[in-house]
């Protein structure tokens, strides 16, 4: 889930992790969930029981927090061994709304605390307030949730450099994570470098480019060369997890694939302000 990241540490159970700015360690590889057919109960249980996955990523927007509670219980994995990430949807931005939305997500997930809570998008349509004002107000609520221990770490998603710079000026706590679309066809390197310079862990979502990367001729060719699946090649390119290394000359093939192709599109201008 990271952007060409190296392992910094190993969790007690032997899973690779990265250290956040607050000292906590986040499992590098996580199981993402989504709406529009992106949730499978059996897949979640299998990932937890058979694959050693301990990082589950979801959001209120996806509508599957309650379903995840059931899957986690069925897996018999202890809460303290899990890293649970969920996200605040823009309809809940604002100080009081953010606090209540977090508690509601905890209730749906059946947990007392979140390991990571993310502001899902940089902008919201709030009458009478600028996007910057609503971001600052929302982030102050996130800071309070963090200080109360309800959220063990806090971050943002889909934030650009200007959004992060404004947050730096307006608030106290630097986001621990910025989760952004990242795959062979979409690599915002300037944003990656900026996050690293600020000690913000850059977390990539959509690593398989919604399946488009799995059928690309170059990736299929590399999968055959290494005796791996196209999905393993894509994830191995992003993070250091599996039992094989991509050679330097093969990494150059990936460099040729970058075309700044976003696969996440919305119907209102989230990237302004």
What are the binding residues for substrate?
Answer: 120
Let me know if 226 is a catalytic residue.
no
Residue ranges of the binding site: 120
Which secondary structure element, helix H or strand E, spans residue 62, and what is its range?
Answer: none
End-to-end CA distance of the chain: 27
CA 92 vs CA 115, 148, 214: distances in Å: 19, 19, 36
For residues 61-100, one letter each, b for 16 or more C-beta atoms within 10 angstroms of the residue's C-beta and e for the rest, the string is: bbebbebbeebbeebebeeeebbbbbbbbbebbbbebbbe
Which one of the listed residues 62, 93, 146, 182 is annotated catalytic?
A: 62
Count H helices and E strands in the chain, helices first.
9, 10
DSSP assignment of 114-136: BSEEEE--S----TTS-HHHHHH
Q: Are 49 and 75 in contact (CB under 8 A)?
A: yes
Sign of CA dihedral 44, 209, 21, 108: negative
Catalytic residues: 62
């Amino acid at each position: 889930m990271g952007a060409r990241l190296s392992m910094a540490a190993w969790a007690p159970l032997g899973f690779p992790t990265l250290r956040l700015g607050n000292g906590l360690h986040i499992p590098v590889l996580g199981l993402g969930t989504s709406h529009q057919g992106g949730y499978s109960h059996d897949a979640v249980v299998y990932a937890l029981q058979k694959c050693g996955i301990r990082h589950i990523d979801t959001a209120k927007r996806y509508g599957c927090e309650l379903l995840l509670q059931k899957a986690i219980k069925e897996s018999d994995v202890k809460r303290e061994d899990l890293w649970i990430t969920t996200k605040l949807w823009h309809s809940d931005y604002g100080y009081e709304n953010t606090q209540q939305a977090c508690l509601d997500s905890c209730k749906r997930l059946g947990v007392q605390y979140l390991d990571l809570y993310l502001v899902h998008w940089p902008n919201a349509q709030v009458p009478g307030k600028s996007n910057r004002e609503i971001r600052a107000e929302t982030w102050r609520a996130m800071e309070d949730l963090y200080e109360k221990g309800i959220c063990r770490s806090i971050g943002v998603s889909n934030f650009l450099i200007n959004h992060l710079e404004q947050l730096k000026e307006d608030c106290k706590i630097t986001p621990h994570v910025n989760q952004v679309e990242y795959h062979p066809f979409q690599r915002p390197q300037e944003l990656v470098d900026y996050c690293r310079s600020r000690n913000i862990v850059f977390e990539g979502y959509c690593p398989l480019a919604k399946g488009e990367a799995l059928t690309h001729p170059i990736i299929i060719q590399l999968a055959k060369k290494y005796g791996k699946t196209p999905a393993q090649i894509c994830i191995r390119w992003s993070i250091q997890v599996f039992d094989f290394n991509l050679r330097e000359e093969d990494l150059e093939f990936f460099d040729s694939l970058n075309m700044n192709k976003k696969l996440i599109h919305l119907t209102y201008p989230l990237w302004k302000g």
